[in-house]
Structure 1
């Protein structure tokens, strides 16, 4: 009688462990996907900021060249 009871407890523990493992793996996958999406967004934003900075530098250089040549920028 006790063997069946202990066996059912062990089986229940294994089922709960398996369910929690599957649940954790699913949520870990979602978490990693969200982090990857955030990394991509940050990379795109950094690239856009760099492009804006590059354009500002180009405008300053062009204005300096025009001033040196005697023209108004």
Structure 2
């Protein structure tokens, strides 16, 4: 009761601290600033996904290089025999 539109502020800590500053619009609570913690979490998940993708790509390339190295070593051995 007694909430004044665009003058009443509330720090919503329902998802943990430091919380999100919200303002009463007269009909609903709206965030005053972006939810930084949510953005940090989403960014971290994206980075982890990119790291895993890069690891898989590098492992594939390393395996390809090892196969080529073995083939070259076999060719060198054949040349030595001749």
TM, length-normalised to structure 1: 0.69
Q: Report the Cα distance in structure 2 between the residues aligned to 1:28 and 1:2, rounded to whole angstroms.
A: 40
C-alpha deviation, 1:27, in angstroms: 0.4
**Structure 2 residues without counterparts, runs of 5 or longer:** 1-7, 13-18, 22-32
Aligned counterparts of 2:9 and 2:66: Cα–Cα separation in 1: 61
State the structure with bigger RCO (CA 8 A, min sep 6), 1 or 2: 2
SS at match of 2:20: helix
List runs of 5+ in structure 1 lacking aligned partners: 60-73
Structure of greater Rg: 1
Structure 2 counterpart of 1:4: 11
Correspondence for 1:29: 52
Alpha-carbon distance in 1 for matches of 2:55, 2:20? 37
Provide the rounded CA distance (Å) in 1 between the counterparts of 2:74 and 2:80: 10
Spell out the pairing of 1:58-69 with structure 2 (5 A cutoff): 58-59=81-82
User: Normalising by structure 2, what TM-score?
Assistant: 0.62
Q: Which residue of the other structure, out of 34, 37, 41, is the alignment partner of 1:18?
A: 41
Question: Which one has the bigger strand percentage?
Answer: 2
Richer in helix (by share): 1
